[in-house]
Amino acid sequence: MADFVQLWVYMASTPLFGLTATLVTYVSAQAMYARLDHAPWANPVLWSVLMLGVLLLLTRTPYPAYFAGAQFVHALLGPAVVALGWPLWQRREALRRRGVALVVAALAGGAAAALSALALGWVLGLPADVLRSLAPKSVTAPVAMGIAERLNGIPALAALFAVLTGMVGALSAKYLFDALGVRDWAVRGFALGTAAHGIGAARALQVHPDAGAYAGMALGLQVLLAALLMPLAARFIG
């Protein structure tokens, strides 16, 4: 027991703690996810976040101390996003034929996501800076933070909204698509990537390769269109 305590003290004071906790937690959540036949509510990202949050609270570990180790995993986010381009390359002919339709669908989907969020926030009486942070909720978190900053919103709040949006999309999409009778994997994937960005795309990749490819396409289009058009629209309205 004394050896275990000494090991814990050592790990908690080094970057090894954050890296080990992240990997062990995610691998455990992923194993449970597979055992439950990839049930949406068992999403490994959701349960990893919850378990890591509880662990940090119980051990009273400051987030900066945890992230000192977790940043090694965080650094892989960029290559992981770039890797989404491989399924697109494999389907380049089909994407080229549908190019115009995909851009129009991305514009419509992105506009619907942003405007519906703003309308709901306005009805609830949210402050202006919170509304500006809510607008890019369907864009992947790092880009949403940059857009929120350009809109004079709160970048940290924009990241929170983006993560919550992604989780809600990943958890509810299957049931919503089934209820609406949407069977085409490309359509399901594109819709999920449009509404739920990277977290939704990760879920789509786990379900079907076509869904994952089109979700990655939608994610990229939303990043590009939102980064270009949201600040322009805000300047025009303002």
pLDDT tens, residue by residue, 83-117: 777 887 888 888 888 888 999 999 999 999 999 99
Q: How confident is the model at residue 123 (pLDDT cuts 50, 70, 90)?
A: very high
Confidence (pLDDT) at 181? 92
Q: What is the pTM of this model?
A: 0.77
Confidence (pLDDT) at 146? 87
Confidence (pLDDT) at 107? 92
pLDDT digits (tens, 9 = 90+) for 4-49: 455 555 555 556 777 888 888 989 988 988 888 878 888 888 888 8
Mean pLDDT of the chain: 84
DSSP letters, the chain, are -HHHHHHHHHHHTSTHHHHHHHHHHHHHHHHHHHHTTS-GGG-HHHHHHHHHHHHHHHHT--HHHHHHHHHHHHTTHHHHHHHTHHHHHHTHHHHHHTHHHHHHHHHHHHHHHHHHHHHHHHHTT--HHHHHHHTTTTS-HHHHHHHHHHTT--HHHHHHHHHHHHHHHHHHHHHHHHHHT---HHHHHHHHHHHHHHHHHHHHHHH-HHHHHHHHHHHHHHHHHHHHHHHHHHHHH-
Confidence (pLDDT) at 89? 82
Confidence (pLDDT) at 207? 85
